[in-house]
Chains A and B, each alone.
Chain A
Amino acid sequence: MAENSYLRAVWRRFKRHKLAMVSLYFVLFVIFVSLLAPIIAPYHPNRITGDFGAPPGDGHLLGTDDVGRDVLSRLIYACRVSLMVGILATLISTVIGVVLGLVSGFFGKLLDSIIMRFTDMVMSFPYLLLVLVAAAIFGPSLMNIIFILGFVNWPGIARLVRGNVLSLRERAFVQGALVAGLPKPYILFSEILPNTMAPILIHSSSVIAFSILDEAALSFLGMGVQTPTASLGNMLGAATSQAVLTNMPWIWVPPGIMIVLIVMSVNFIGDAIRDAFDPTNPLV
């Protein structure tokens, strides 16, 4: 029950952040719309349903794109794709990072050096460049993008978890468990991992935001999700054509604003979680 009241206190502190609450509602709304995309979207996202590049108006709330597809429907499906990439890529990188960080911090010595030096190596390559190279090698597709982002993005989490494990390992409850002769994997996953959950959660929220940005950047450059599948990035990519950029802002402005809103909301929520978990903040 102590656990429960702690979480309730965290939730109370989170609720004080008005912007984070608005962001939370917004993200929940986007998730809801994405999940129900086939029901909510007025048209099929990949089907040509109107004139080429018709401005917003009757029948097409946000107009049609340069080949005559409904922009609103594509936007809804694009959010679905972007959220999926963001969440799945973050799940992959979090699992890899947490396992490597736990092992590295807990067992120390040679294993720690090897894992940390490997982390240094991966971190030395500019992230976007590594992702682009991988996309060029394995070919751009939705699944590949998720795996590439997931497999490239773990070093930050690994370092964070390792640092936490190093300090937790010296604490009395872990030392006690060690002296009591409990099996090491048990201590690692049942004693240490739960106590480092909060920083992992906070970090993951920013990784989701970055993954969504990265997917958009890749697709914008033509190395990510490929048309006809709509993603926020490749919808924006249409604006590399001068005609679309100048004369059809309704095609590229909505996905751009959508990316900004989603990423900003995720960042606000992450910041509020950080504050809420901070024990130096008063429990209101």
Chain B
Amino acid sequence: MNKGGLLRYVLKRLLIAVPVLIGITIIDYLLMNLAGNPIDMMIGPRITEAAKQAKMIELGLDQPFLMRYWLWLKELLNGNMGYSITTYQPVTQMISQNMGPTVLLMGTSMLVSFLVAIPTGIYSALKQYTVRDYVIVGTSFLFISIPGFFLALVLVYLFSTQLGWLPSSGMKTLGGSGGLIDIIRHMIMPVIVMSASVTGSNVRYIRSSMLEILQQPYLRTAESKGIGRFKVISKHAIRNAMLPIVTLIGLQLPMLLGGSVIIEQIFSWPGLGLMTMSAILNRDFPVIMGVSLLAAVAVLMANIITDILYAIVDPTIRYD
């Protein structure tokens, strides 16, 4: 794709995203309306009935749905996502406070997953139909099929209650001196659980992508030039097999975000997932919908970025 074409593609991709983004906010707002009275969610805490009525009229909540949506959207653009009904904190503030640990956990898990899956997948493809290949494929199936919470329970049972090697909850030892080592010790089990299923499916994707490339005629050409099998694989095959993997990152973000709710709950990891789960158990809808909206926007953006990256790294693909 030439430069002009790429630019056009990026613009087009962004344009398509606009209605989707608007749609996401509508769905979010609709769900919030299904959940309960938005007045209680939008205005601050501890307000009398009369003040509530006044606020309702002031905010225009006595108006029709579309008008109300518009007002909500304007507030949203000013960074006001409403207030939590349990902690009375602004939702934006709660989200920014809890974001760090979740990003740390998800980023590490994704990194670990690719560091394990890329060599394993390539090795498995190169050894297709051998015992080792079968073992790798079987193990990746096991990883995909094992529910995160069961794996978490097994790990906690083994390493915390039986062996006492790893802490089973939190991010730092309470009252401890803290430090990097302490955080890493707390991260080991959550990262294993979070990366397990993702690694399983990554191995399968990379393996099949590699197998497909290995059958391409240009590899036979490269091999027949006599440059040696190692060079053929490292220079020609792997590079091309890595292309589709770019899209995996965008695909797996929603899975990881969803998974973080369960994993953070089990390990009491102080991030967005834990906050969301306690909001769900308390029916704290402003918080729930704030997180959902944020997550949906993050996923949408990740998809746009992967699409654009894909267009850049693969010059043979044309988008018209």
Q: Which of B150, B254, B288 has the most CB atoms of chain A within a 10 A radius of its CB? A: B150
- Once the chains bind, are B157 and A213 in contact (CB under 8 Å)? no
- Once the chains bind, are B153 and A245 in contact (CB under 8 Å)? yes
Residues from chain B with Cβ under 8 Å of A256 in the complex? 147, 150, 153-154
- A86 vs chain B, min Cβ distance (A): 13
- Once the chains bind, are A259 and B147 in contact (CB under 8 Å)? yes
What count of chain A residues pass the 8 Å CB interface test?
42
State whether A128 and B20 are in contact (beta carbons under 8 Å apart), knowing that A245-B161, A260-B146, A264-B145 are contacts in the complex: no
Q: Which of A124, A236, A249, A260 has the most CB atoms of chain B within a 10 A radius of its CB? A: A124
Instruction: Name the contact of B153 in the complex, choosing from A137, A252, A264 (C-beta under 8 A).
Output: A252
Instruction: Name A's interface SS.
Output: helix
Q: CA of A259 to CA of B288 in the docked complex: distance in angstroms?
A: 29
Q: Does A228 contact B (CB under 8 A)?
A: no
Q: Does A189 contact B (CB under 8 A)?
A: no
Q: CA of A216 to CA of B303 in the docked complex: distance in angstroms?
A: 28
- B53 vs chain A, min Cβ distance (A): 26
Which one of B40-48, B73-81, B290-298 is at the A interface? B290-298
What count of chain B residues pass the 8 Å CB interface test?
49
Residues from chain B with Cβ under 8 Å of A216 in the complex? 147, 149
Q: CA of A3 to CA of B126 in the docked complex: distance in angstroms?
A: 37
- B241 vs chain A, min Cβ distance (A): 19
- B204 vs chain A, min Cβ distance (A): 9
- Residues of chain B at the chain A interface (Cβ within 8 Å): 16, 19-20, 23-24, 27, 31, 34-35, 138, 141-142, 144-150, 153-154, 156-157, 161, 254-255, 257-259, 261-262, 265-266, 276-277, 280-281, 283, 285, 288-289, 291-292, 295-297, 299-300, 303
- Residues of chain A at the chain B interface (Cβ within 8 Å): 19, 117-118, 120-130, 132-134, 136-137, 209, 213, 216-217, 220-223, 236, 239-240, 242, 245-246, 249, 252, 256, 259-260, 263-264, 267-268
For the complex with contacts A125-B296, A133-B289, 17 further pairs of A-B residues with Cβ separation under 8 Å are A123-B254, A124-B303, A125-B292, A128-B259, A128-B261, A129-B261, A130-B292, A133-B288, A133-B292, A220-B149, A239-B153, A245-B153, A245-B157, A260-B147, A263-B146, A264-B141, A267-B144
